[in-house]
Structure 1
């Protein structure tokens, strides 16, 4: 199953607590909590380009499965990391945050970020 497509955020859980824990300022947390981000994924074999647009902020990461890449985090830091694929899941560890992106069916993308016992879960639906 290919990840390629555009996905609109439908719902998320644990946003405020998670963003506070990673050090995002309160004003950005307030602005961001109600914005429905758009994720665009382009997959070509093991190569991925992921662009997430949240309001005016655009975050783009390009990586190849199993190879080290510079990944930009939610706080804007660049981290060297390796993205691995296990079936329909993409897994990566950025600093102390574990990110798992799962294509549940052809139209639902679930991204779960874990930091210690804090979990931020994003559910997005395919729009294109």
Structure 2
């Protein structure tokens, strides 16, 4: 908002579609989405160029309800099952979408870069 004439907040796919169609000059997205859209023929890679990438960020989190989180034994079994997915991908690539490598157990501090970015931009409020 400080450096651009117009800032648009929309869905990732919409950004890719509008940049490659020439409706927007630039957009922010994550590589996995762009790569998937190219692979599916939804956009043409040559119509946009990646000019900057962040350091690797935490990917998708797996959450349970507060009630279920109280069942520590179940949560531990679920975490174990999820961590087994990565090695299984070698023989069953369709277990996860393309470019996923599996899951790892992390505590909430792992997502600090995401929270910090949200707080810095004002898109996330402090608790």
Scaled to the shorter chain, the TM-score interval is under 0.3
Length-normalised TM-score, structure 1: 0.26
Q: Which has the higher contact order (CA 8 A, sep 6+)?
A: 1
Length-normalised TM-score, structure 2: 0.26
More strand by share: 1
More helix by share: 2
Q: Which has the larger radius of gyration?
A: 2
